[in-house]
Amino acid sequence: MLYDNILRAKNKGFIISNLNKRIIFLDRDGVINHDYGYVSQIEKFQFIDGVFDACKYFLDLGYEIIVITNQSGIGRGYFSKNDFQDLTNWMINEFKKNNINILKVYHCPHTPDENCDCRKPKIGMIQQSLNDFNIDLQNSWLIGDKKSDIETAINANILNKILISQDKNNSEFPNIASNLIDTINIIKN
């Protein structure tokens, strides 16, 4: 039905804006919060400075935000899915307090040994987001702090990717930023 309406509008000469969402895919640990290893408790979750400002800027540019995160601590028995969900709900509410809507949080609960389809660098979480939303991957970005995050972008044909790293001399990745706020200079160009 929607597709038919779009075709009719095009045939009548109306300009149709792109219905697909432009997304900033963010890894969680090391990008949104400090990664102390298997972060699963609110009292141990510490936002990285500038995260809210960066996310507001992304929204102002017309992007929406999706979080994709490997959480093998669930599969290893370090914390439960309920613990993860409680922390995620708290995190989303902290973003909301800062007038930032997180479109969705996808997570992989599996250990690397389970060889699932969702653990980065595989693209299961990206595929799920494509099933849930109309996403323009060509004009979206993936930002992560590990090589597996960047490999996920490559595997999913996301052209725009940024590695969060203190090693600016890493010639393997053309887009490197020290933290999320520093990614703004890359994305706005």
Can you spell out the DSSP letters for the chain? -HHHHHHHHHHTTPPPPP-SBEEEEE-SBTTTB---SS---GGG--BPTTHHHHHHHHHHTTEEEEEEEE-HHHHTTSS-HHHHHHHHHHHHHHHHHTT--EEEEEEE---GGG--SSSTTS-HHHHHHHHHS-B-GGG-EEEESSHHHHHHHHHTT--EEEEE-S-TT-TT-S-EESSTTTHHHHHT-
Asked if 111 contacts 74 with a C-beta cutoff of 8 angstroms, the reply is no
Mean of all residue pLDDT scores within the chain: 90
Active site residue 182: no
Q: Which residue has the tokens 């044909």?
A: 157
Q: What pLDDT does 28 receive?
A: 98
Task: Count other Cβ atoms within 10 Å, centred on residue 151.
Answer: 16
Give the tens place of pLDDT for each residue, 23-57: 999 999 999 999 999 999 999 999 999 999 999 99
Report the pLDDT averaged over residues 78-98. 98
Rounded alpha-carbon distances, angstroms, from residue 187 to 54, 101, 102, 174, 184: 11, 19, 18, 13, 5
Q: Which CATH number fits domain 22-169+178-187: 3.30.70.380, 1.10.10.60, 3.40.50.1000, 3.40.718.10?
A: 3.40.50.1000
User: For residue 175, is it left (φ>0), alpha (ψ between -120 and 50) or beta?
Assistant: beta
Give the tens place of pLDDT for each residue, 129-151: 999 999 999 999 999 999 999 99
Q: What pLDDT does 154 receive?
A: 96
pTM for the model? 0.89
Active site residue 29: yes
* In the chain, domain spans: 22-169+178-187
Intra-chain end-to-end CA distance of the chain, in Å: 37
Read off the amino acid at residue 109: P
Report the pLDDT averaged over residues 93-114. 98
Active-site choice (27, 132, 136, 149): 27
Tokens linked to 54: 């960066």
Active-site choice (29, 60, 149, 167): 29
Q: What pLDDT does 107 receive?
A: 98
